């Protein structure tokens, strides 16, 4: 592996750890709304906060807010890095077929089995006389099928399908993306400006129309109304960087982005504080806030998002390009499976700690440690015992087809 590839692999490990820490903290945020009185009544806030603990700490709010600004966008960017290479090797049809196996099938299995298992805890704390039969009756009567963190998978699959469609219609778009990345990638400030401008065009109109926080769902396909186009911008930004090469431009381990990681840290902190300040002016009701505050908060988000994501990239490129540790390699290799299964452990551990008198940070640390350990162990076991058989079955089906 090249040094930049090692850094990106280690970044993948860091990202999955942050995702688990983020979800482990949600029950203990000072800003978490009070638990709704019923499981089967709107607005179904338990989909975001299945467990609401009496112990709260503002420090966890700051951590989760920073991650909410840039973490998911960074995940879409990282997911796009190797799309162009895969399309060139496989072609659109084979690529989409592989994505259906890799993303579509796990999404289907997760929403059918893991989502009800996770959200059963939300039913337990909101129902006086809970039962499996009662839960299932209320579950299937919901206006949508809650998918939890798996919303990321179907949107990622849709982004991959869009990329494959563009390649099928206009194969030259890969070359043009590479040229754009070559032009912007050699100067991180230019890339930052281009990324910020594109995401602002994609995000600001939707945020003003729907608010930054509103969600909608059709069946199991849920999305945050302000962000689908924004996430596409980051996905195709990742595609462009991958076209240019993972060892060049923005992604060079010894490039200007990596060398100036301290400046990007300062930019990430400053832009986050600006976003947080403007956003606080729109709380608690976005619709009742002044339009100037809404516009300022909406414009601050793309800046904070890009700065935070580029800081994470610069940090790993600077310090993790030569770092080969088995723990990071294992976390990186099992990151996808851990993402699929971790939420079950998170919410059940939060439920188990409800009646304890521990401080909020202590509870979050216990939930994080337990969920990390158990999801990592299950993912590693699955990887070594089941994946080879799944791949063999996939090859047999493909050969027969």
Whole domain around residue 150: which residue ranges? 3-270+315-400
CA gap 68, 275 in Å, rounded: 12
Pick from 12-16, 118-122, 248-252, 303-307: least confident: 248-252
Tokens of 383: 């990887």
Give a yes or no: residue 277 inside a domain.
Answer: no
For the stretch 127-141, pLDDT in tens is 988 999 999 999 999
Per-residue confidence band for 1, with pLDDT thresholds at 50, 70 and 90? confident
Region 2-6: mean pLDDT is 92
383 in Cβ contact with 338 (< 8 Å): no
Per-residue confidence band for 385, with pLDDT thresholds at 50, 70 and 90? confident
For the stretch 167-183, pLDDT in tens is 999 988 888 888 888 88
The yes-or-no verdict on residue 374 having pLDDT over 60 is yes
Give a yes or no: residue 135 inside a domain.
Answer: yes
83 in Cβ contact with 242 (< 8 Å): yes
What was the pLDDT predicted at 37? 73
The yes-or-no verdict on residue 393 having pLDDT over 60 is no
pLDDT, greater one: 244 or 154 = 154
What was the pLDDT predicted at 271? 97
Residues 6 or more apart whose CB falls under 8 angstroms from that of 212 comprise 226, 279, 286, 297, 298, 301
Beta partners for 224?
A: 215
Q: Is the dihedral of CA 344, 52, 35, 49 positive or negative?
A: negative
Give a yes or no: residue 176 inside a domain.
Answer: yes
CA gap 354, 366 in Å, rounded: 12
Give a yes or no: residue 280 inside a domain.
Answer: no
Give a yes or no: residue 289 inside a domain.
Answer: no
Give the three-class secondary structure for 218: strand
Give a yes or no: residue 345 inside a domain.
Answer: yes
For the stretch 40-69, pLDDT in tens is 888 898 999 999 999 999 999 999 999 999
- Mean pLDDT, the chain, as a whole number? 93
The yes-or-no verdict on residue 394 having pLDDT over 80 is no
CA nearest to 178, candidates 310, 87, 253: 87
Give a yes or no: residue 310 inside a domain.
Answer: no
What was the pLDDT predicted at 259? 93
* E strand or H helix that includes residue 222: strand 221-224
Per-residue confidence band for 246, with pLDDT thresholds at 50, 70 and 90? confident
CA Rg value for the chain: 21
Pick from 24-38, 81-95, 153-167, 205-219: least confident: 24-38
Region 2-29: mean pLDDT is 96
Domain count, the chain: 1
What was the pLDDT predicted at 33? 80
What was the pLDDT predicted at 367? 98
Give a yes or no: residue 159 inside a domain.
Answer: yes
Tokens of 236: 């195709």
Residue 160 main-chain phi, psi, to 5 deg: -65, -40
What was the pLDDT predicted at 177? 87
The yes-or-no verdict on residue 87 having pLDDT over 90 is yes
DSSP conformation letters of 299-367: HHHHHHHHHHHHHHHHHHHHHSSS---HHHHHHHHTHHHHHHHHHHHHHHHHHHTTT----HHHHHHHH
């Amino acid at each position: 592996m090249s040094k930049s590839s090692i850094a990106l692999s280690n970044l993948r490990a860091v990202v999955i750890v942050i995702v688990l820490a983020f979800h482990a903290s949600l029950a203990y945020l000072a800003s978490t709304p009070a638990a709704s009185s019923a499981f089967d009544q709107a607005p179904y806030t338990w989909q975001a906060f299945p467990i609401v603990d009496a112990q709260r700490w503002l420090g966890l709010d700051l951590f989760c807010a920073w991650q909410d600004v840039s973490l998911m966008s960074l995940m879409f960017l990282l997911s796009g890095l190797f799309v162009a290479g895969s399309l060139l090797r496989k072609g659109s049809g084979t690529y989409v077929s592989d994505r259906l196996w890799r993303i579509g099938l796990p999404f289907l299995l997760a929403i059918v089995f893991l989502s009800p298992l996770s959200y059963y805890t939300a039913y337990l704390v909101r129902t006086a006389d809970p039962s499996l039969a009662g839960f299932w009756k209320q579950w299937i009567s919901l206006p949508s099928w809650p998918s939890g963190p798996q919303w990321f998978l179907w949107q990622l699959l849709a982004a991959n399908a869009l990329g494959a469609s563009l390649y099928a219609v206009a194969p030259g778009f890969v070359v043009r993306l590479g040229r754009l990345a070559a032009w912007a990638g050699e100067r991180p400030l230019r890339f930052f400006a281009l990324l910020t401008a594109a995401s602002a065009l994609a995000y600001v109109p939707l945020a003003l129309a729907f608010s930054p926080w509103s969600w909608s769902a059709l069946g199991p396909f849920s999305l945050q109304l302000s962000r689908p186009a924004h996430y596409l911008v980051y996905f195709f930004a990742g595609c462009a960087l991958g076209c240019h090469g993972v060892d060049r431009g923005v992604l060079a381990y010894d490039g200007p982005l990596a060398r100036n990681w301290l400046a990007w840290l300062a930019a990430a902190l400053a832009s986050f504080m600006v976003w947080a300040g403007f956003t606080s002016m729109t709380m608690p009701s976005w619709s009742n806030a002044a339009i100037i505050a809404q516009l300022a908060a909406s414009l601050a988000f793309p800046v904070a998002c890009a700065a935070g994501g580029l800081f994470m990239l610069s940090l790993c490129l600077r310090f993790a390009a030569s770092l080969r540790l088995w723990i990071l390699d294992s976390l990186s290799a099992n990151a996808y499976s851990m993402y699929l299964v971790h939420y079950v452990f998170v919410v059940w551990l939060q439920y188990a700690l409800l009646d304890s008198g521990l401080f909020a940070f202590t509870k979050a640390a216990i939930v994080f440690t337990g969920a990390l350990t158990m999801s990592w162990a299950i993912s590693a076991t699955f990887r070594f015992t089941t994946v080879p058989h799944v791949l063999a079955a996939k090859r047999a089906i493909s050969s027969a087809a």
